[in-house]
Structure 1
Amino acid sequence: MIHPSLIKKHRLIMLILFVLIVLTMIVSMGLGYSTLSFDRLLPTLFGQGTFKENFVLFSVRLPRIVITLLAGMALALSGSILQGITRNDLADPGIVGINSGAGVAVALFFLFAPINAGSFIYLLPVMAFVGAVLTACLIYFFSYNRKTGLQPVKMVLMGVGFSMALSGVMVVLISSAPREKVDFISKWLAGSIWGADWPFIWALLPWLVILIPFTLYKANRLNLLSLNEPVAIGVGISLNKERIVLLLTAVALAASAVSVTGGIAFIGLMAPHIAKALVGPRNQMFIPVAILTGGWLLVLADTIGRQVADPDGLPAGIVVALIGAPYFIYLLLKK
């Protein structure tokens, strides 16, 4: 049973995060290369803006903000699941190689698939999912021992190794690709939120609509998986089955996000830790907080990045890495 005071604290934190997201989105809508004054935001949102204001808000800024919010939520949830099933606080889809697997699949698809632009958008998350699943399967295979089961530390080390190997594959692909396609892959690797248009939102949204409720439904199983294996088996949990199902869920979330935002790491590492520090380790409590925290962090990082350098700004992936890399080192030294 969850104590009423913790439920009250949880609701307050959720409200604060929601307010932070709304405020950051408002600031992000008003800032950028083309100025859109804050006093014109509400009239423009309600259809009373000029042609320029409508174009800047609805065709440029708003879809980018929504994409970053959804992608941050997906990456945070993916990291929460990975940390739960591996019992490793350092697990993150970017660190353990899942993002790299998705990236190689996206690059191969972009370079060699003879497909029209309309279908390309909706097939990207599918292709990223295929690449991420293959990578996750290989990492799981090499991290699993018949006698001791899944070895969490070995899984992280294998993930780092696969991430580096797949980065080498990316270099080979870039070296043999036409220049105009190299530019796209380079932006993808930097986490530049390249899919900033409404069709990409509709390509990403269904994955979240399905997988967020599914993960919350499985939250109690994640609580049990975070215990040691004999205890989990003793209460009737099928360890391998639950781990595989939840691993596929984490892979799908990460792949769908990075397919439209590019290679963004550390959101899945930081958001769960911040959420656990706020409301504790129970998955029913911290997962919703982690989802909102991840969305807010990525929107904030993209907003900061767009103001740092003109005209294109600094990619959100680099801004997140500047914060996340020292945090990762801190966790590594601490744990």
Structure 2
Amino acid sequence: MARRDLPPLRALTAFEAAARLGSFRMAAGELGITRSAVSHQIKLLEQRLDVQLFRRDARRAELTTHGQSYFPAVREAFDQIEAQTRALRPANTDKELTIQVYVTVALKWLIPRLHDFERRFPDVKVRLSTSYFDWNFDERNVDVGIILARTKLPGHYYRPLFKSYLVPVCSPKMKLTKPQDLANAKLIDVYTAEEDWHIWLEGAGVTGVKPANRLTVDSYILAQEAAVEGRGAAMTIGPYAAEEIKLGRLVQPFPLRVPHKHNWYFACSTANRNKNKIKRFEDWLVKQVAADPALEAIKE
């Protein structure tokens, strides 16, 4: 029987992660390797296939036509392997809880509180699946999600958690006294939420502000860190800059906070809503939100 003509698994894994996440850097974080290692594995795959899979000059890991054609088959194969792997170990399904959470929410809010959940429910092993995209619930790979719900899909259960507000922040060294000063300042954009500055400026009643230049990053936490370094003014959501403001690393130059178009929700598959591990986490999460004075809980 002829040997299968398959590329190396490491190269396929790097390609699938980079294509799915849209970033070599995020793929490296998920796989626990360096960005250069991801790039190297994809280069090996391209040499094996003799086609180019990504455009190297793109800001993101943008697939070529060949990459777009190859990715669905690779991802489907990985999904099937993962599904069958899970099916072979059903005894563990109620003892592991995989939580999809936006990276900034994880670092700035959830992780410092998780010890309480683990103390209360020591039989549940928690796994975090951090994402740089905050709105798509990935039910094939996680049990529950904390998401900024833009759309509510059928077959899913959504429970409102807290309201989302846009707040500009910057280094104390950056002198901004009125919103119009932003016209002469560098603004830091999150490329998955490029409308944020427009929403805030419109809410502030400011028109005609066209900043001279911008810096674009792929998460709110990177935007905040760039602002700490004095690279420009960043937009943040909710209380995620609270610690930096408390420490004096950042300031909120304007008192106005503008409601975002979307709010934060707990999400899971409707079919799994009443599973013991999911119900316990949902109840615990809602209590944590209610106890945080920095959050404005949404009442059902």
Same fold by TM-score greater than 0.5 = no
* Bigger CA radius of gyration: 2
What TM-score results when the alignment is normalised by the length of structure 1? Answer: 0.26
Q: Which has the higher helix share?
A: 1
Q: Which has the higher strand share?
A: 2
